[in-house]
Amino acid sequence: MIKTKKISLLIILIIFLNTCGIGQKRKGFPPERPKLVIGIIVDQMRYDFLYRYWDKYGDNGFKRLINKGTNCKDANFEYLFTQTSVGHATISTGSLPQYHGIVSNDWYVRLQEKNIYCVEDFDVQAVGCSSAEGQRSPKLLLTTNIGDELKLVSKKSKVIGIALKDRAAIFTAGHMADAAYWMEDKTGNWISSSYYIDSLPGWVRKFNDKKLQDLYLNRNWSTSLPIEQYTESLPDENKYEKGLLGQVTFPYNLVKMFKIYKSYSLLKSTPFGNTITKDFAIETIVSENLGQDDFTDILMLSFSSTDYIGHEFGPASVEIEDTYIRLDKELAHFLDFIEETIGKENTLVFLTADHGIVNIPDYLKDQGIPAGYFNQRKALSLLQSYLNALYGNGDWIKSYISGQIYLNHILIEDSKLSISEVQEKTANFMIQFTGVANAISGSSLEKGNFTHGVFASIQKGYNQKRSGDVIINLEPGWIHMTTSSTNHNSAYQYDAHVPLIWYGWKIKRGNILREISICDIAPTISNFLSISFPSGCTGNIIYELNE
Ligand code: ZN
Ligand code: ZN
Ligand code: ZN
């Protein structure tokens, strides 16, 4: 009797729940885990760009993320060499260059006696092109990343990385990704490598066949607002910008310029490089059915044009302001698309950057701010003479890569000298140059642990096998001599402090003011997905997001 009563109660309950719609899939209610994680990385976006152009942004791009998401206002990179490959590897692995091994875009390999590029891999074949631009893989990334950890437990999850730059797409995608796609300079097509796939999927070929790259280059780049409204920037014409082919003022006639460039690297240096990246990302989501089932997918999407344009014109240019106004619109379109097709409640979005940028040093100098250009060529030739005088004539310096001096170990050993002594002599010599703030030897870095300060940031970026014998840190406002207008490669605020905003799924509106490391992104996602932290992870969960 009691048993029947229980059964009929259960039936009534089921009918009740069904009529109320409870227990059925309801729109707007976030699932236990997001169906899709989207990492948006804006190359060279400094934190202040969020607010510098605030009045020029629409309601549905950056403002939507900030107004409806959680803004980590003090998110920073912790190491010295803030470069694209290092930043992307750190974001996706939650690890430091010390462990993940991507110490710089390029480094010197002693055994091979040559510099190598962080994603080069001549054991793999190009896919979708015939040039070496496709011979790329993540094999030099030493730790797992967030996508790898997801794939290790959930083979049905898809992980894809997209960026104009190969190193950005590859390091965010990781070792086990379904694919990473980047753009070939020669054709403007999206390509990949045999590391991931044997041939381009039909939908990628179809996308390439549309030749949107030609459509976007068949126009002028003019300001999207009347030019007098760009009050946050220097005048369009100023003496600090190096520009595109020497041109520094709007409008940019891309048809004419392409005839000189003869390469789609031109497209990358315009805001339309970001447009085609967004177009391709949307096509990827549709064609790969991302976020459509209960196996969480990851899409890492990096916008690289901001970086190319920033190098050419600097962060105080009308060109970079217009690039962000346009990127804001792309972002709005992209987020609209996500919310219509997958749903905000099913999608966890984070937006960050791989590094920032310093104002053009000549401009800073004119404002009375200490800044300058370190002439590395001159310094190295003086160092060579100094080492010759000390130890006799020899090829003492093997390589110099933006702040890292690689000495000739074989010559040092053959000369019966101690490597650490030559390193110390080199460091003590280099520190004398104007613009050099610190020069420290590898052997000093290997002796102990620095807990804070500049040597700690150098150590976090120091990998014993890959880093130079002597590491040089320039003074604030100083950059290496370059053909660009300006650069990034320091641990100072302008290079290290970047946006980090979380949005969608269970994320509430709010601000986090305490200091956060970029290494905290990956473990925070691991926690949301209930998977392992990446193998070299040094970050912590951003616990406020769970409250
Ligand atoms: Zn970058
Ligand atoms: Zn200009
Ligand atoms: Zn850059």
Same domain, 172 and 231: yes
DSSP 277-340: HHHHHHHHHHHTTTTSSSS-EEEEEEE-HHHHHHHHH-TTSHHHHHHHHHHHHHHHHHHHHHHH
Task: Pick the ligand that lies closest to the CA of residue 309.
Answer: 3
What φ, ψ does residue 407 adopt, rounded to 5°?
-90, 165
Give me ligand 2 centre to Cα 240, in Å.
9
Looking at residue 520, what DSSP letter applies?
G
Q: How far apart are CA 137 and CA 195, in angstroms?
A: 6
Looking at residue 144, what DSSP letter applies?
-
Residue 349 resides in a domain: yes
Task: Pick the ligand that lies closest to the CA of residue 489.
Answer: 3
Instruction: For the beta carbon of residue 326, count every other beta carbon within 10 angstroms.
Output: 20
Residue 440 resides in a domain: yes
Q: Give the full edge-to-edge strand order of the sheet including 497-498.
A: 497-498, 75-76, 516-517
Nearest to 350 by CA among 36, 44, 40: 40
pLDDT at 28: 75
Whole-prediction pTM value?
A: 0.94
Query: Which residues, in sequence order, are CB contacts of 297 under 8 Å at separation 6+?
Result: 35, 36, 37, 157, 158, 159, 160, 288, 290, 291
Q: How far apart are CA 470 and CA 400, in angstroms?
A: 10
**Residue 10 pLDDT greater than 50, yes or no:** no
Instruction: For the beta carbon of residue 331, count every other beta carbon within 10 angstroms.
Output: 26
Give me ligand 1 centre to Cα 486, in Å.
13
Give me ligand 3 centre to Cα 389, in Å.
37
**Mean pLDDT computed over every residue of the chain:** 95
Same domain, 353 and 438: no
What φ, ψ does residue 465 adopt, rounded to 5°?
-80, -30
Average confidence (pLDDT) over 21-31? 59
Per-residue pLDDT tens digits for 191-220: 999 999 999 999 999 999 999 999 999 999
% of the chain with per-residue pLDDT over 90:
94
Per-residue pLDDT tens digits for 377-406: 999 999 999 999 999 999 999 999 999 999
State both tokens at 322.
């217009």
Same domain, 436 and 522: no
Q: How far apart are CA 54 and CA 40, in angstroms?
A: 19
Give me ligand 3 centre to Cα 388, in Å.
35
Q: How far apart are CA 57 and CA 513, in angstroms?
A: 23
Average confidence (pLDDT) over 52-61? 98
Average confidence (pLDDT) over 12-36? 62
Give me ligand 1 centre to Cα 87, in Å.
7
Same domain, 524 and 392: no
Give me ligand 1 centre to Cα 88, in Å.
8
- How far is CA 162 from each of CA 46, 159, 177, 262, 350, rounded to the nearest angstrom? 21, 10, 11, 24, 15
Long-range Cβ contact pairs of 453-456 (< 8 A, separation 24 or more): 454/80, 454/491, 456/78
What's the one-letter identity of residue 4?
A: T
Residue 312 binned pLDDT confidence (cut-offs 50, 70, 90): very high
Task: Pick the ligand that lies closest to the CA of residue 230.
Answer: 2
Give me ligand 2 centre to Cα 226, in Å.
14
Its domain, for residue 431, covers 372-475
Give me ligand 3 centre to Cα 96, in Å.
19
Task: Pick the ligand that lies closest to the CA of residue 249.
Answer: 2
Same domain, 198 and 251: yes
Q: Calculate ∠ Cα 490-495-501, nearest 5°.
A: 145
Q: How far apart are CA 347 and CA 344, in angstroms?
A: 5
Same domain, 343 and 433: no
Average confidence (pLDDT) over 121-137? 97
Give me ligand 3 centre to Cα 41, in Å.
13
Nearest to 276 by CA among 157, 181, 202, 393: 181
Residue 12 resides in a domain: no
Residue 29 resides in a domain: no
**Residue 4 pLDDT greater than 80, yes or no:** no
Domain finish residue from 425, 444, 475: 475
**Residue 240 pLDDT greater than 70, yes or no:** yes
* In contact, 38 and 349? CB cutoff 8 Å: yes
Given the residues 4, 70, 82, 84, select the one marked as catalytic: 84
Domain CATH code at residue 251: 3.40.720.10
Same domain, 288 and 335: yes
Domain count, the chain: 2
- Which ranges in 128-180 belong to alpha helices (H)? 146-153, 166-173
Q: How far apart are CA 254 and CA 267, in angstroms?
A: 8
pLDDT at 217: 98
Same domain, 227 and 326: yes
Task: Pick the ligand that lies closest to the CA of residue 238.
Answer: 2
Same domain, 453 and 357: no
Please indicate whether residue 9 or residue 456 has the higher confidence score (pLDDT).
456
Same domain, 498 and 425: no
Residue 84 a catalytic site member: yes
Give me ligand 1 centre to Cα 354, in Å.
5
Task: Pick the ligand that lies closest to the CA of residue 323.
Answer: 2
Per-residue pLDDT tens digits for 323-339: 999 999 999 999 999 99
Per-residue pLDDT tens digits for 154-194: 999 999 999 999 999 999 999 999 999 999 999 999 999 99
Give me ligand 3 centre to Cα 486, in Å.
9
* In contact, 264 and 187? CB cutoff 8 Å: yes
Nearest to 309 by CA among 272, 279, 340, 336: 272
pLDDT at 8: 52
Same domain, 261 and 146: yes
Same domain, 288 and 410: no
Residue 24 resides in a domain: no
Who surrounds ion ligand 3 at CB < 5 A?
A: 307
- Is residue 534 reached through a cis peptide bond, with omega within 30 degrees of 0 on the bond before it? no
Give me ligand 1 centre to Cα 138, in Å.
17
Task: Pick the ligand that lies closest to the CA of residue 45.
Answer: 1
- Class of residue 16 by CB neighbours under 10 A (exposed 0-12, middle 13-18, buried 19+): exposed
Radius of gyration (C-alpha) of the chain in whole angstroms: 25
Per-residue pLDDT tens digits for 400-431: 999 999 999 999 999 999 999 999 999 999 99
**Residue 20 pLDDT greater than 50, yes or no:** no
Residue 546 binned pLDDT confidence (cut-offs 50, 70, 90): confident
Give me ligand 1 centre to Cα 41, in Å.
9
State both tokens at 316.
């105080």
